Amino acid sequence: MTLLTGETEVFSSEPAASSGCVVAFLAKRQTDGGPAIYGDGDYRRLMAVLEQLRDEGWLLSFRAMFDPQSNVLPMALDSGFAHPWDLSGAFEAPGLSAALAGTVRLEQAGWGRLFTTEWLLGPREFATVRGSGPALERNWGFMALWEWNDAWCEATAQQRRDYDAECDVAFKGDLALNINIAGRHRLDWAHSWHHLGIWETDRPETVDKAISGHEDAADFMFTTSRHVVGKVRPLAELLLPERA
């Protein structure tokens, strides 16, 4: 895969990291005041499909992207407190065909009865990078979707390299805040967004501090972005049917 931007001191495109395909989702509950169409049977089928996907090699949380061998539960972001999407997150499938088939299986198992969902699929472009500092609980997640704007398209190759170097300073600041960065995924083969970035962090205030560093580095000069922040919670909780 040809990179849209080059490798940097922070990000590398190791071949071993390029086989996975992200399955990101922005989901809103279908609650219109009418009778619930999602019930206990849907929940059981959906949890069974998630277990099958994990057995097939899917990574079903941000955490699993850093520790694939860990026995972490399927997780997502509880994001409705700040966004139109009640549930946000990302899995990583073994490949594109598996990713496409997996979304169909999830929708048919009951996901489509619970949510209206924007699915975003694309190959891994850069490897994961771990933050520096002591071990801590990373109970919050952050997702950044962005597309390169007209100014980036018109910039010279040297201007883009200078821009990447400035952004690298900001990303080093993220790592110094002990934020884990799940590399970068490429989305533009089928979406208007070009890339997805995923962070693991300890609290929203850390994200806010990190974004200030990106603003100082003029990170958004060449991009249009959408940011999503949420509390990491087990899908076994987030997918439960609502009780009257």
Q: What is the CATH number of the domain that holds 29?
A: 3.30.70.100
| Domain housing 47 | 15-238
How does residue 70 score in pLDDT terms, banded at 50, 70 and 90?
confident
How does residue 213 score in pLDDT terms, banded at 50, 70 and 90?
confident
Q: What is the pLDDT of residue 78?
A: 98
Per-residue model confidence as pLDDT tens digits over 121-168: 999 999 999 999 998 999 999 999 999 888 888 999 898 888 888 888
Residue 42 within a domain? yes
Residue 2 within a domain? no
Residue 4 within a domain? no
pLDDT at position 219 over 80: no
Rg, Å, the chain Cα set: 18
Residue 244 within a domain? no
Residue 58 within a domain? yes
Residue 6 within a domain? no
Residue 7 within a domain? no
> In total, how many domains does the chain have?
1
CA–CA distances in Å: residue 7 to residues 2, 17, 111, 180: 11, 13, 37, 18
**Residue indicated by tokens 């990491």:** 232
Residue 10 within a domain? no
Q: Alpha-carbon torsion 103, 105, 109, 113, what sign?
A: positive
